[in-house]
Structure 1
Amino acid sequence: MATPNHLHILYLRQNARTNLPQTEEEIDYAGRAQWLRAAVLGADDGLLSVASLMMGIGAIRDDVKAMILTGFAGLLAGACSMAVGEFVSVYSQLDMEMKREKGMAENGERERERRPNPLQAAMASALAFSFGAILPLLAAAFITNHNVRLGVVVAAATLGLAASGGAGAALGGTKVVSSCGRVVVGGWMAMAITFGLTKLLGTSGLCI
């Protein structure tokens, strides 16, 4: 998740070859691409985290209330964690950029760059996580049959992961099918591992 934006790398390489200065429109485009990619990854993280939590609690309990409450707690905890982490990260980046700009100003150099906003980044990260996490919650909220509810959670997560994989491929310029396949298979593995290990712990008498 921390890899640089593929579009931004290609742009920087092309700019280095042509030795042309970046215009404000080009810089804004790269920035928008980074924000979109971060939003896709945040929604993907929220979707997979909450769906896996719901599958884990569903492995040992069959009541819908326990599953929904677990998923909702995961949504709140994950959104807060994402917001705090993004705020700290962007604030550190802001400090470094301000120090660099100060040094350039002392040397008589000038450079126009839009400074990152830590609060805006934190809110965007929390919203993206919450947007992804709400999908499995809504999918399972009105299903009374336990086995059907588990299947619906997996189906909803699969659709959401495929959509995020396609969006990530479009932003990164990669093949859509292979990107979707990797994201979906990885999501299946995460949900299966969470379900299986929680089931194992439950049958071993370690659950309350």
Structure 2
Amino acid sequence: MASQTALDHRQCPSLEISSIHVSDPEKNQHQLLALENEVDYSQRAQWLRAALLGANDGLVSVASLMMGIGAVKTEVKSMLLAGFAGLVAGACSMAIGEFVSVYTQRDIEVAQMKRVQARADGSDEETERAEIPNPAQAAMASALAFSAGAVVPLVGSAFIRNYRVRLGVVVALVSMMLVAFGVAGAVLGRTPVVKSCARVVIGGWMAMALTFGLTKLIVSGGLEM
């Protein structure tokens, strides 16, 4: 009889939950609340990756471009023009790349669903109800995320006339935003905060330092701008 009861519990978990509530209602109330509040963080991975990648790419790319121009030009106008050109070019590139990538994924998924339905002799209604990626939405989201990150160094340095202060402000703003991105990614994805922040901040610093240093080196080697 005991073995039969154990078998029933394995086959129907709800019986086990009911019996546990009878034995210890307060304890199992917390367990049920924990189960209800449990989040599958892997579900967030795709949109979180795309949003953070776009914003981080815009921030670091435009800031590095402005630092590279700032290595050889002291005028604020030159840095702003370079940054604005980088914002437009980068946003367009992200949008086009995401559109092509998601459209390819969409075609593959639709073709796979049609093959499955053909084997199962299903109807087209299942294909219409299935959730398939939207290339236009993905392209717009990527462009907006890139632009949101890119506008930070542009706005932050637009009204600073002093050359050295301007460069320092760009580095400081980028560093703060990178920390914010690292914290946001860690909190939403339930990953270590320090490791996440260190990864994005060090990567951003390396990009700006390399762009600044290599541009300075090329110009000092005799290339006129």
Shorter chain as denominator, the TM-score bin is: 0.7 to 0.9
How far apart, CA to CA, are the structure 1 residues paired with 2:43 and 2:101? 16
Q: Which whole-Å deviations, capped at 9, do the CAs of 1:111-165 have from their partners, x for residues lacking one? A: 7631101011001000000000000001100100000000000000001111111
Tell me the distance in 2 between the aligned counterparts of 1:43 and 1:37. 10
Residue pairs, 1:10-159, within 5 angstroms: 33-108=45-120, 113-159=130-176
> Is the 2:61–2:86 Cα contact (8 Å) retained in structure 1?
yes
Flag as ranges the 4+ runs of structure 1 deviating above 6 A. none
Equivalent position to 1:191, from 178, 199, 208:
208
Which amino acid in the other structure matches residue 183 of structure 2?
G
Contact 1:49 1:133 in 2 (8 A): yes
Unaligned ranges ≥5, structure 1: 1-25
Bigger mean CA deviation after superposition, 168-177 or 144-153 = 168-177
Cα distance in 1 for partners of 2:114, 2:41 equals: 26
Mapped to 1, the partners of 2:65 and 2:118 lie a distance apart of 52
Distance 1:179 1:30, change over 3 A: closer
Q: State whether residues 41 and 164 of structure 1, in contact with CA within 8 Å, keep that contact through their aligned partners in structure 2.
A: no
Residue identity matched to 1:71 = G
Unmatched tracts of structure 2, length 5 or more: 1-37
Q: How many residues align?
A: 182
Larger radius of gyration: 2
Q: What percent of counterpart residues are identical?
A: 65
Task: Give 1 or 2: higher helix fraction.
Answer: 2
TM-score, with length taken from structure 2? 0.76
Change (3 A) 1:175 1:29: closer
Cα separation, 2, equivalents of 1:31 and 1:84: 25
Instruction: Give the secondary structure class of the aligned counterpart of 1:143.
Output: coil
> Which residue of the other structure, out of 177, 182, 187, is the alignment partner of 2:199?
182
Contact 1:43/1:129 (CA < 8 Å) preserved in 2? yes
